[in-house]
């Protein structure tokens, strides 16, 4: 078998980006992938297909609610579910084929099959064993179950995000277990398509860890769109009777028992590292208490020549976090100084309006007893947002009270996932809110709301 400088197990965002960067830096590289297509969960059954359905269902929403206001008259479009799924599949194919092209362009070998690590420096794929100076675990994550609950997933009536992306038909009712990113995005898709959606969340607020003011506003907006919520509720059982799912849950405030029926139940209670079949136990790889692969600052495990990145290690399970780690590790292996700034990793929820954040929340700053100031601006004061029926939400910038240095930003509103990167760049350069406020922004754009929020950290915004 060929001697490789690097073998990466997993072709998701962390794995394929790491592979390309390794190849660019002159390292002989191979990637192990058992799926029929490259791209991992993200491109095949995660980020990309869900965004396709979010986009399609949002166009339907616009046609039903806003077209007539703009003078676009006519019968509202009907939904061809099979064609919508075909559009989703075509989107997946375009992206996965794109990764395959990049592998060929960069002379990266695809070792087709599921990999294991029988000993340090070796990777087994099928009947073949390959040697490598460096082995990188980038095997991603899988859907997590609800602790202590009796739930049997069949991916037809009781589904994870994978099954929710390919339901045979649009259900009349759906219960989403978990009020996090995945549940709210897919819940929004089906709600727009006419499904009655109820979200059951164990905590007392949706989007755990999000800025509290944003989470409260987000829930209110989603409620206006038709989603229902049962908060502070612990699901104990989901069972299928006569083709219907029966969800049993208890309200934590009084332990009262409740039952809800639905055509489909989406279990969206987070994800866990996927390391099954790699042989980590036999190899003696150290894990954290939460089952993640333990690594040092250079992504090294306790086994010589073995590294890990992405969802299998600590930190937010985000594709772009995995990509950054893949880039950094490739540079480290090539003798450079790879680095990831974990304080500037944005998070985005792709509903409408979008929700985006980076840095610290008000709750975290209060817990640290840190002196800070808030600059806030509503999209109601943004001309472009009002013209586009997208004025719900606001921008909130948090800055150090003494130095004015930006500590965090939280946005709920149109194109929030794109707008947040202005603040990401600012934070990378250690910018103050005044730096952002004094930067000219084109008019009329949504980005003006970012400038106004920065101005609000000083003497005040102009359009409020």
Q: What CATH number matches the domain at 3-143+272-333, 3.30.70.270, 3.50.50.60, 3.40.50.720, 3.10.450.50?
A: 3.50.50.60
pLDDT in tens, 256-269: 999 999 999 999 99
Answer whether residue 121 shows pLDDT above 90: yes
Helix, strand, coil tally for the chain in percent (to 5): 35, 25, 40
Q: Which fold has domain 347-456?
A: Enolase-like; domain 1 (3.30.390)
Answer whether residue 181 shows pLDDT above 80: yes
Domain with CATH 3.50.50.60 in the chain: 3-143+272-333, 150-269
How far apart are the C-alpha atoms of 238 and 97, rounded to whole Å?
A: 38
Cis amide leading into 331 (omega within 30): no
pTM (2 d.p.): 0.96
Answer whether residue 106 shows pLDDT above 90: yes
Answer whether residue 410 shows pLDDT above 70: yes
Answer whether residue 1 shows pLDDT above 70: no
Tokens for 328, please give them: 């950094």
Residue 443 appears among annotated catalytic residues: yes
Q: For residue 111, what pLDDT band results from cuts at 50, 70 and 90?
A: very high
The pLDDT assigned to 2 comes to 61
Q: How many Cα atoms occupy the beta-carbon half-sphere of 224 within 13 Å?
A: 9
Average confidence (pLDDT) over 368-394: 98
The pLDDT assigned to 76 comes to 86
The pLDDT assigned to 301 comes to 98
β-sheet bridge partners, residue 373: 399
* Share of residues in the chain with pLDDT > 70 (%): 100
How far apart are the C-alpha atoms of 198 and 103, rounded to whole Å?
A: 42
* Share of residues in the chain with pLDDT > 90 (%): 99
Q: Is 25 helix (H, G, I), strand (E, B) or coil?
A: coil
Q: For residue 247, what pLDDT band results from cuts at 50, 70 and 90?
A: very high
Q: Which of 258, 339, 421, 443 is catalytic?
A: 443
Q: Does domain 150-269 have CATH number 3.65.10.10?
A: no
Q: Which residues contact 32 (CB under 8 A, 6 or more apart)?
A: 7, 8, 9, 10, 11, 111, 113, 114, 115, 123, 125
The pLDDT assigned to 148 comes to 92
**Beta-strand (E) ranges in 58-195?**
109-112, 115-119, 122-125, 128-137, 141-143, 150-151, 158-159, 173-177
Domain with CATH 3.30.390.30 in the chain: 347-456
- Average pLDDT score over the chain: 97
């Amino acid at each position: 078998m060929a001697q490789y400088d690097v073998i990466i197990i997993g072709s998701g965002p962390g794995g394929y980006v790491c592979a390309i960067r390794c190849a660019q830096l002159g390292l002989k590289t191979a990637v192990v992938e058992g799926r029929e297509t490259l791209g991992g969960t993200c491109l095949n059954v995660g980020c990309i297909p869900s965004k396709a359905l979010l986009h399609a269902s949002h166009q339907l929403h616009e046609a039903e609610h806003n077209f007539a206001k703009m003078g676009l008259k006519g019968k509202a479009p009907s939904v061809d579910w099979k064609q919508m799924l075909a559009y989703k599949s075509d989107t997946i194919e375009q992206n996965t084929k794109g990764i395959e092209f990049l592998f060929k362009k960069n002379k990266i070998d695809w070792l087709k099959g599921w990999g294991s690590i029988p000993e340090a420096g070796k990777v087994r794929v099928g009947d073949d064993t390959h040697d490598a100076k460096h082995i990188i675990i980038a095997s991603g994550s899988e859907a997590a179950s609800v602790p202590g609950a009796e739930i049997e997933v069949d991916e037809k009536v009781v589904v994870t995000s994978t099954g929710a992306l390919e339901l045979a038909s649009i259900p009349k009712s759906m219960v989403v277990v978990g009020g996090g990113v995945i549940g709210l995005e897919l819940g929004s898709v089906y709600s727009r398509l006419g499904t009655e959606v109820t979200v059951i969340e164990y905590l007392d607020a949706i989007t755990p860890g999000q800025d509290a003011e944003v989470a409260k506003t987000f829930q209110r907006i989603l409620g206006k769109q038709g989603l229902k919520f049962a908060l502070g509720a612990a699901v104990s059982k989901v069972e299928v009777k006569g083709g219907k799912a029966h969800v049993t849950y208890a309200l934590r405030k009084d332990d009262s028992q409740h039952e809800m029926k639905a055509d489909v139940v989406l279990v969206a209670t987070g994800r866990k590292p996927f390391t099954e079949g790699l042989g980590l136990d036999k190899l003696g790889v150290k894990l954290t208490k939460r089952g993640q692969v333990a690594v040092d600052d250079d992504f090294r495990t306790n086994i010589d020549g073995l590294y890990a990145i992405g969802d299998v290690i600590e930190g937010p399970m985000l594709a772009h976090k995995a990509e950054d780690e893949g880039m950094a590790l490739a540079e480290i292996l090539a003798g450079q100084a790879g680095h990831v700034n974990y304080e500037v990793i944005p998070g985005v929820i792709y509903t409408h309006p979008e929700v985006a954040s980076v840095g610290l929340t008000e709750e975290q700053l209060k817990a640290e007893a840190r002196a800070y100031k808030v600059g806030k601006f509503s999209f109601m004061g943004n001309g472009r947002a009002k013209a586009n029926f997208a004025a719900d939400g606001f921008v909130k910038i948090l800055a150090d009270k003494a130095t004015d240095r930006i500590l965090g930003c939280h946005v709920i509103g149109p194109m929030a996932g794109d707008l947040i990167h202005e603040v990401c760049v600012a934070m990378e350069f250690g910018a103050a809110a005044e730096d952002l406020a004094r930067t000219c922004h084109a008019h009329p754009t949504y980005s003006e709301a970012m400038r106004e929020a920065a101005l609000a950290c000083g003497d005040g915004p102009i359009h409020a």
